[in-house]
Amino acid sequence: MVSQLRWGFIGNGWIAKVLAEDFKVAGLKIQAIGARSQAKADEFANTYGIPNRHDSYEKLVNDPEVDIVYVATPHPFHVRDAILALNAGKHVLCEKPFTINEKEAIQIKEAAKRNNKFVMEAMWARFLPVQNEIQRIIKSEAIGKVKIVVADHTRYLVDIPRLWDPELGGGALLDLGVYPIHLIVRLLGIPTKIESSAKLSPEKIDEYLMCKMDFADGGMATFLTTNSVAGANRAIIYGEQGRIEVAGSAWDSTSFSLFNQSGDLVSKYEDSHPGTGRQFQALEVERCIREGLLESPLLPVDETIAIMRIMDQIRNQIGVKYPME
């Protein structure tokens, strides 16, 4: 029996703080923090009760008391930091988007294979209880075969400099659009045709973007994403016999409604859980590692790579290329 698994965090920014809070409610153990200075590492460690604090990522990944590394740096640095941890013999949970592009995602997969270690993208919304229930209903054929998915992830984030900086992989697609793409791929598979249109910012990154996808079995999907307008953030899943509506914020929702083909409300699912729900992805990582798995069956690495390839195609269509590519 594996004893309690010990996590090390690379990065001490906002997303690391959010996950650290969720670790508290789930009873998960953060053993170490790695930051770019001792002062930042100490501040983070003192806030969250972390015993081991390091002033470099290299020291963090070589800490013998760390089993799993959570990569929480900006996405242009994911490939560097994930491979650093894998080569040091650590399992890895890497923040979304997994990388800047498909090429980097493949590099992480290869490093995990070489080192015989677990790796997974931290697409936390996929592991929420509400998403599990949606999958159960779809598999029960309550709405019949899924034919159409319509979704948006639209937020007013003009005051976050990182999202507008090409050097940091800015733009709506990689930060926000990755959520509806994950949902669409999970429900319909890999698209055979993609058509995208976008309005670019003065920095030449996507400020808002619309995309239509076609699938081999006749399915269709559309999504809208922007980081400069606050929208509905809804997802609607249309089946042959009914539909599912995830309202509010579909990407961290705790409820959805099920309608029949006549448009009548059949049922409403509501869930309540502590924290933001990001702890569920970490629990899945620990489950997989305890069972000797090197990837999660709920989010295989090849699916993450396919999603990065889709985003590469979209960026190619709208004319967004980052300086590091």
Confidence band, pLDDT 50/70/90 cuts, at residue 2:
low
At residue 54, the 3 state secondary structure works out as strand
Mean pLDDT, rounded, for 98-127: 98
Q: What DSSP line would sit under 6-52, residue for residue?
A: EEEEE--SHHHHHHHHHHHHHT-EEEEEE-SSHHHHHHHHHHHT-SE
The per-residue pLDDT for range 4-35, each reduced to its tens digit, is: 999 999 999 999 999 999 999 999 999 999 99
Mean pLDDT, rounded, for 180-199: 97
Nearest to 110 by CA among 144, 145, 86: 86
Mean pLDDT, rounded, for 288-301: 98
The per-residue pLDDT for range 51-107, each reduced to its tens digit, is: 999 999 999 999 999 999 999 999 999 999 999 999 999 999 999 999 999 999 999
pLDDT for 1 beyond 70: no
Domain boundaries defined on the chain:
6-125, 129-270+308-318
The answer to whether domain 6-125 and domain 129-270+308-318 are alike in fold is: no
Mean pLDDT, rounded, for 257-277: 94
Cis, bond preceding 51 (omega within 30 deg of 0): no
| Residue linked to tokens 């490939």 | 79
At residue 97, the 3 state secondary structure works out as coil
Mean pLDDT, rounded, for 166-195: 97
Is 149 or 247 the better-scoring residue by pLDDT? 149
The residue type at 144: G
Mean pLDDT, rounded, for 251-262: 92
With beta carbons less than 8 A apart as the criterion, state whether 169 and 159 touch. no
Cβ atoms < 10 Å from Cβ of 310: 23
* First and final C-alpha spacing in the chain: 44
What are the phi and psi torsion angles at 246 (to 5°)? -105, 105
Predicted pLDDT of residue 247: 78
pLDDT for 288 beyond 70: yes
Nearest to 125 by CA among 42, 10, 246: 246
At residue 6, the 3 state secondary structure works out as strand
Nearest to 173 by CA among 202, 140, 211: 211
Q: Please report how the helices 14-26 and 38-48 are oriented relative to each other, as an axis angle in degrees rounded to 10.
A: 30
- Looking at domain 6-125, which of 1.10.490.10, 3.40.50.720, 3.40.109.10, 3.90.1110.10 is its CATH number? 3.40.50.720
Nearest to 171 by CA among 97, 247, 113, 268: 97
H/E run at residue 284: helix 279-290
CATH class of 129-270+308-318: alpha beta
Its pTM surpasses 0.85: yes
With beta carbons less than 8 A apart as the criterion, state whether 120 and 299 touch. yes
How high is the mean pLDDT of the chain? 96
pLDDT for 142 beyond 70: yes
H/E run at residue 213: strand 206-214
At residue 106, the 3 state secondary structure works out as helix
At residue 278, the 3 state secondary structure works out as coil
Cα within 13 Å of Cα(194), Cβ side: 23
